């Protein structure tokens, strides 16, 4: 065991001392934190006023356009040519033209701009004009608009998750979908990244004949296991550093700019006002309290609603389990060939389950509790990715434990198979390996 520990130490230190490890250890959390922080900052910077001049030849819609926080309307009693000239001079960002035939031909309306039209401004203008045109048509048909509007009932259902202890928390399925897919994708990338390092390390030692000297001191199984665990510890250390630094960076930014993370959950509004206010007053209070909420605040609230402790622990476990399982197979492939080009024929069947899992992840997030999601999260070759996709939606602990146990069993089995290939292939030179040869090595006790 001491020899295996020596190999683990060598593999670990030889990689953490590389400049690439230090660079990625620093860049990793910065990039992960930037995913949350940069959109918030960019949104604040880009929230400048967008000025739209309105030229209404019908004189029916001038009063319909009300300014919003970032979109300003300016009615112009002039022709469209003069208005466009003012836009060219920099007075406006866009010009809306409503011709006299607009009521008969709505498609005749135009929104002119020198640059690409602000999508939010376009949607706002379309909604305003749609409402006004509907009102005009209702009046022309003799239908009371107020009666029709009174029967409109906007529905907004808040999803509430009941935890195992009976606690009610607001659920954000969109955030769970995003977090689940990103977690599964990271597992997929990490397994490939560090598994490939194992393969190349084995192949380099074999082609340079250094392995012949090493094998004289340690058993092939000890060498393979030491290399796998050593590289795995490098990945685990890097990931844990990323997690700590990412939380530290986002937390520091939140303390420095709390206004960018404003958010009031629905349950807080209802709890504080339910006993004293009517339902109409509660709804009005909700809209008033939450009018200054930010997207970043909602994102952070949604993340906190997920059991991050279970997420992090599960991520570490399934990363290690998936990595150890696939790294053993990668090590076996590296030992069975003489150059990297020959690895392709053996890599495909090994990596197909990983490819299937990342493809199926897109379907699993739409039905994380379905039978397909359940069974894919139990099969050791696909469970590291699929289980991480499911966990943000809330998975019973019994299923996580069962999936983990099967993953450990899968790792033990693949390691036994890989070790038989490794002990023979690592000293085999000049002979092109085939699946038949690998099967003979596996059967040889």
Phi, psi of 162 (to 5 degrees): -95, 115
Cβ atoms of 95 and 53 closer than 8 Å: yes
Task: Delineate the domains of the chain, giving CATH numbers in brackets.
Answer: 2-39+174-443 (no CATH), 49-150 (3.40.190.10)
Q: pLDDT of 292-334, one tens digit each?
A: 555 555 666 666 666 778 888 888 899 888 888 888 888 888 7
- Residue 405, pLDDT score: 93
Other beta carbons less than 10 A from residue 246's beta carbon: 19
3-state secondary structure the chain: CHHHHHHHHHHHHHHHCCHHHHHHHHHHHHHHHHHHHHHHHHHHHHCCCEEEEEEECCCCCHHHCCCCCCEEEEECCCCHHHHHHHHHCCCCCEEEEECCCCCCCHHHCEEEECCCCCHHHHHHHHHHHHHHHHHHHHHHCCCCHHHHHHCCCCCCCCCEEECCCCCEEECCHHHHHHHHHHHHHHHHHHHHHHHHHHHHHHHHHHHCCHHHHHHCCCCHHHHHHHHHHHHHHHHHHHHHHHHHHHHHHHHHHHHHCHHHHCCCCHHHHHHHHCCCCCHHHHHHHHHHHHHHCCHHHHHHHHHHHCCHHHHHHHHHHHHHHHHHHHHHHHHHHHHHCCCHHHHHHHHHHHHHHHHHHHHHHHHHCCCCCCHHHHHHCCCCCCHHHHHHHHHHHCCCHHHHHHHHHHHHHHHHHHHHHHHHHHHHHCCCCCCCCCHHHHHHHHHCC
Q: pLDDT of 5-30, one tens digit each?
A: 777 777 777 777 777 667 777 776 67
- Residue 236, pLDDT score: 80
Query: Rounded mean pLDDT of the chain?
Result: 75
**Would you say residue 372 has pLDDT above 60?**
yes
Round to whole Å and give the CA distance between 373 and 390.
Answer: 8
Higher-confidence residue of 406 and 133: namely 406
Among 47, 56, 46, 61, which residue's Cα sits nearest to residue 76?
Answer: 56
Round to whole Å and give the CA distance between 277 and 275.
Answer: 6
- Residue 138, pLDDT score: 76
Averaging pLDDT over each range in 128-142, 152-166, 370-384, which range is the top one?
Answer: 370-384
- Residue 274, pLDDT score: 44
Q: Which two tokens stand for residue 218?
A: 């340690």
**Would you say residue 123 has pLDDT above 90?**
no
Specify which residues 72 forms β-bridges with. 51
Q: Which two tokens stand for residue 66?
A: 């009300």
- Residue 406, pLDDT score: 93
What is the average per-residue pLDDT within 426-433?
Answer: 67
Among residues of the chain, what percentage have pLDDT more than 90?
3
- Residue 272, pLDDT score: 47
What is the average per-residue pLDDT within 38-50?
Answer: 60
- Please return the burial class of 70, using the count of CB atoms within 10 Å of its CB with bins 0-12, 13-18 and 19+: middle
Name the one residue in this structure whose structure tokens are 């991520």.
315
Cβ atoms of 389 and 368 closer than 8 Å: yes
Among 253, 225, 438, 264, which residue's Cα sits nearest to residue 343?
Answer: 438
Cα end-to-end distance, the chain, whole Å? 22
- Residue 283, pLDDT score: 55
Averaging pLDDT over each range in 80-89, 135-144, 193-202, 296-305, which range is the top one?
Answer: 80-89
- Residue 16, pLDDT score: 72
Identify the weakest region by mean pLDDT among 68-72, 82-86, 408-412.
68-72
Q: pLDDT of 248-298, one tens digit each?
A: 777 776 677 666 655 555 555 544 444 445 555 555 555 544 545 555 556
């Amino acid at each position: 065991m001491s020899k295996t520990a020596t190999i683990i130490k060598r593999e670990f230190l030889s990689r953490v001392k590389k400049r690439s490890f230090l660079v990625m250890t620093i860049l990793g959390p910065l990039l992960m934190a930037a995913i949350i922080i940069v959109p918030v900052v960019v949104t604040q910077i880009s929230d400048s006023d967008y000025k739209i001049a309105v030229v209404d030849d019908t004189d029916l819609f001038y009063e319909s356009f009300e300014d919003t926080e970032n979109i300003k309307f300016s009615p112009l009693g002039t022709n469209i040519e003069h208005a466009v000239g003012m836009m060219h001079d920099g007075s406006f960002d866009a010009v809306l033209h409503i011709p006299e035939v607009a009521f008969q031909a709505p498609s005749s309306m135009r929104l002119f701009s020198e640059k690409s039209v602000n999508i939010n401004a376009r949607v706002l203008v379309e909604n305003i004009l749609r409402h006004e045109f509907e009102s005009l048509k209702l009046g022309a048909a003799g239908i009371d608009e107020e009666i029709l509007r009174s029967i409109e009932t906007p529905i907004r259902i808040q999803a509430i998750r009941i935890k195992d202890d009976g606690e009610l928390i607001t659920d954000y399925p969109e955030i769970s979908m995003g977090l689940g897919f990103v977690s599964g994708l990271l597992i997929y990338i990490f397994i490939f990244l560090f598994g490939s390092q194992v393969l190349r390390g084995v192949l380099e030692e074999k082609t340079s004949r250094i392995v012949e000297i090493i094998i004289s001191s340690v058993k092939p199984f000890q060498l393979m296991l030491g290399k796998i665990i050593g590289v795995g510890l490098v990945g685990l250390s890097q990931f844990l550093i990323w997690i700590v630094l990412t939380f530290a960076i986002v937390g520091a930014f939140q303390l420095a700019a709390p206004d960018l993370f404003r958010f009031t959950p629905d349950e807080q509004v209802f709890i504080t006002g339910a006993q004293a206010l009517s339902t109409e007053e509660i709804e009005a209070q909700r809209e008033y309290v939450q009018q200054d909420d930010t997207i970043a605040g909602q994102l952070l609230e949604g993340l906190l609603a997920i059991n991050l402790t279970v997420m992090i622990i599960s991520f570490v476990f399934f990363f290690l389990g998936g990595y150890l399982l696939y790294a053993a197979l990668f090590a076996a492939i590296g030992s069975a060939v003489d150059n990297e080009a020959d690895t392709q024929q053996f890599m495909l069947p090994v990596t197909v389950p990983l490819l299937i899992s990342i493809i199926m992840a897109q379907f699993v997030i739409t039905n994380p509790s379905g039978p397909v999601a359940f069974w894919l999260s139990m099969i050791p070759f696909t469970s590291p990715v699929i289980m991480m996709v499911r966990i943000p939606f809330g998975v019973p602990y019994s299923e996580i434990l069962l999936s983990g146990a099967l993953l450990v069993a899968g790792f033990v089995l693949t390691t036994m198979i890989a070790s038989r290939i490794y002990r023979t292939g690592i000293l085999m030179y000049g002979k092109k390996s085939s699946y038949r040869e690998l099967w003979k090595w596996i059967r040889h006790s």
